[in-house]
A and B are shown apart, each in its own frame.
Chain A
Amino acid sequence: MSTLVIIVVVGVFTGIAIAIVSKFFGVESNPLEDQVKELLPGANCGGCGYAGCSGYAKALAEGKAAPGACAAQKPEDLKKTAALLGASVEQKVPKVAVVFCSGDDTNATRQAQYNGINNCRDAMFVAAGAKTCTYGCLGLGACARVCPFGAIEITDKHLAVVHKELCRGCGKCVQACPKKLIRLVPRSAEIHVHCSNPMKGAVKLRGCKAACIGCGKCVRTAPDNMRINNGTALAEVNYGNPPAEELAQVCPTHALRK
């Protein structure tokens, strides 16, 4: 019993001592740094090239970095940061990540039971994921795991979907996807061509019901907003002038969708 009392007493005294010491000898932090840090997203994604948000905030406060290096920062916060630092920034086009694939379990079936590590990047080494479309999303969540904002959901049908309202466009998922299905695109576009398979249309359709077969219907309907990519023969949205949402209706395979 006395042991217990002694331990508690020692613990309490040490705690008080630490509190006193930190009060009197604490390192003064730069108030500007704190203010700048408040305006950063706090996800510590490292996309700016500094050691987390506090590292970038320190560099900003010391004038060693320019505002705008953070892809995930909200535009209004960026404006405030610039005002605080007395610097001017050009407004960037806000971006959002999109998974360019529609190959969920109904469209591109999984042909085997996968027994292995629960990560797309590892699953690539086992029959390349064993989906009917070899370019399709594996749905094991390598992207979701790296997302600092929790913006990527793996649906019940094993397809990664980015929630636009949560995504800040930091681009970490772009690197994480082993099939290179995720790209950053301007936030203003409403619909995208959700397919990344560059093979011939007939081959694609064997693998996935929702593939873009490059039929060109969307391009004929809205030639200013859509085009056919020369390399991959896939239709793609002209992100400089994105089409209206209604255009999605013309797509026969529903690869062009929200």
Chain B
Amino acid sequence: MIKIFHFYGGVHPQEAKISRGVSIVDAPLYPLYTVPLAMHIGAPARSLVKVGDTVLRGQQIGEPASFVSSAIHSPTSGKVKALDVCLSPQGTQLPCVVIESDGEDTPAEPLPPIPDWRDADPDILRKRVAEAGIVGMGGASFPTPVKLSIPPGKSIDTLIINGVECEPCLTADHRLMLESPKMILEGVELVARILGVKNVFIGIENNKPDAIQVLDKEAAAYTDPVIHVLPLHVRYPQGAEKQLIYAITKRQVPSGGLPADVHCVVQNIGSIYAIAEAVIHGKPLYERVTTVTGTPLVSTGNWRFRVGTSYAEAIKLAGGLKEGASIAKLISGGPMMGMTVYSQSIPVMKNTSGILLMAPEEVHQYTSKACLRCGRCNDVCPMQLMPGILSVQIENERFDDAQNWHVMDCIECGCCAYTCPAGRPLVQHMRRAKSEVGAKLRAAKAAK
């Protein structure tokens, strides 16, 4: 009997993973790529090219501007058409490099592969991860090299690989695990060696038995480090970092703390795959697997898109809209934490795990009805906060109270708003409070 791991609270929305059986296909070459220079948390990269420059596929076009930043590489060969701004899913404007493809797709000189990585110095490997511009591909896009350097005074004993993919609709990680298990396990071993960790857990939700089986079979060959494949309870947000660590190790990341505080590092499947490619083949991160799905689409699937492909091209690739269908929401990411965007010109970025289209009849309209105090939000909050009380405080702009009721611990998973019968936009309330309280805390810190 396999033990199934779980955490407190959570919800189980309809899974709607209609593209789970569709293999990953390489997207074709497009004439134009809009490559944002800020596809990560932290400072935008500094551009290394000028208008009119010729670039090759995989050539570095942006260099990290600070410690928390990342390198950017060209997705194809061609000419730099413009240095412009483009829209981000958050609605802000990002500096970007517009590359006009020459159709040749000439590769640049790859980064030298490190075939003997098992004996290589961890610093060399970490440097390679940085050179390849790898960021967390689950959504937050935190630069991976920063995550792989252990903060002074902290020790790491457990590496957790997040193959949960608890977001409904998305299947990119699932397909990647099914189709490239060897590469992923090599990546896992690699990261374990960088961190000097002997214990590795791969957490996969129970609704992907095929992926669990495939990885389990492959993982049996590994003895140093030992790789455990763990089936997890199907419950959103199983894939949230803190919840995943708790489900697997029963350690609670302290409030305001980092996984390193409980000696853990969590890496996403997509990032692991990218790390393996960067080290073994010397390939920088300029393409990723993205699920394009939604009921209004003719077909759904998982494509390997180059960074900078516009959403419009992605939708076209999925066959466009069905006869008579219309889109009401276009979402970057999954339905629980994804962001609505209003333009199809937005480019696929390193953290675009999915492109989801919703038909008008599927859309839930938020209202500003009063809280019914049913307490369901309370039951499902994985952080064990009281979203109902918080949202009323925030509505009345009582941010100090909200801070005392721990609004800063909110992970914005959306379970509360999912379950709210009054249809209140609870996550929006929490974001507002987190931003107001955060500004206050920063001001207080600056005053000191």
| Chain A–chain B contact at Cβ < 8 A | yes
Contacts of B341 in A (CB 8 A): 127
Q: Select which of A111, A117, A118, A124 is within 8 A of B342 by beta carbon.
A: A111
Q: Any chain A CB within 8 A of the CB of B213? A: no
Q: Select which of B90, B342, B368 is within 8 A of A112 by beta carbon.
A: B342
CA distance A124 to B343 in the complex (A): 17
CA distance A129 to B428 in the complex (A): 13
Interface residues of B in 315-364 (CB under 8 A from A): 339-343
Identify the interface centre among A115, A134, A199: most chain B CB within 10 Å of its CB: A115
A125-136 interface bits toward B, Cβ cutoff 8 Å, 1 = contact, 0 = none:
111111000100
Query: Is the pair B93, A111 in contact by a Cβ cutoff of 8 Å?
Result: no
Give, as a whole number of angstroms, the nearest-CB distance from B430 to chain A. 9
Nearest A residue to B330 via CB reads: A112
Give, as a whole number of angstroms, the nearest-CB distance from A180 to chain B. 13
Q: Select which of A125, A128, A134 is within 8 A of B428 by beta carbon.
A: A125
CA distance A128 to B341 in the complex (A): 10
Q: Any chain B CB within 8 A of the CB of A224? A: no
**Inter-chain CB contacts under 8 Å: number:** 50
Q: Any chain B CB within 8 A of the CB of A31? A: no
Given A116-B428, A117-B429, residue A129 in contact with residue B91 (CB < 8 A): yes
Contacts of A117 in B (CB 8 A): 368, 425, 428-429, 432
Q: Any chain B CB within 8 A of the CB of A62? A: no
Interface residues of A in 129-175 (CB under 8 A from B): 129-130, 134
Q: Any chain B CB within 8 A of the CB of A122? A: yes
Q: Any chain B CB within 8 A of the CB of A257? A: no
Contacts of B368 in A (CB 8 A): 117-118
Query: Is the pair B90, A122 in contact by a Cβ cutoff of 8 Å?
Result: no
Contacts of B428 in A (CB 8 A): 116-117, 122, 125-126
A40-65 interface bits toward B, Cβ cutoff 8 Å, 1 = contact, 0 = none:
00000000000000000000000000
Given A112-B342, A116-B425, A130-B91, residue A125 in contact with residue B432 (CB < 8 A): yes
Give, as a whole number of angstroms, the nearest-CB distance from A194 to chain B. 20
Contacts of A125 in B (CB 8 A): 428, 431-432, 435
Nearest A residue to B427 via CB reads: A125
Nearest B residue to A130 via CB reads: B342
Given A129-B91, A203-B85, residue A115 in contact with residue B343 (CB < 8 A): no
Nearest A residue to B92 via CB reads: A128
Q: Any chain A CB within 8 A of the CB of B365? A: yes
Query: Is the pair A134, B342 in contact by a Cβ cutoff of 8 Å?
Result: no
Give, as a whole number of angstroms, the nearest-CB distance from A51 to chain B. 16
Contacts of B366 in A (CB 8 A): 115-116
CA distance A92 to B283 in the complex (A): 65
> Could you name 16 residue pairs across A and B whose Cβ atoms are closer than 8 Å?
A111-B342, A111-B343, A117-B428, A117-B432, A118-B368, A122-B432, A124-B435, A125-B432, A126-B91, A126-B428, A127-B90, A127-B340, A127-B341, A127-B342, A130-B342, A199-B85
Which residues of A are interface residues toward B (Cβ below 8 A)?
A: 111-112, 115-118, 121-122, 124-130, 134, 199, 203
A117-B368, A117-B429, A118-B368 known; 16 new pairs, CB 8 Å cut-off, are A115-B365, A116-B428, A121-B432, A121-B436, A122-B425, A122-B428, A122-B431, A125-B432, A126-B91, A126-B340, A127-B89, A127-B340, A128-B90, A134-B92, A134-B93, A203-B84
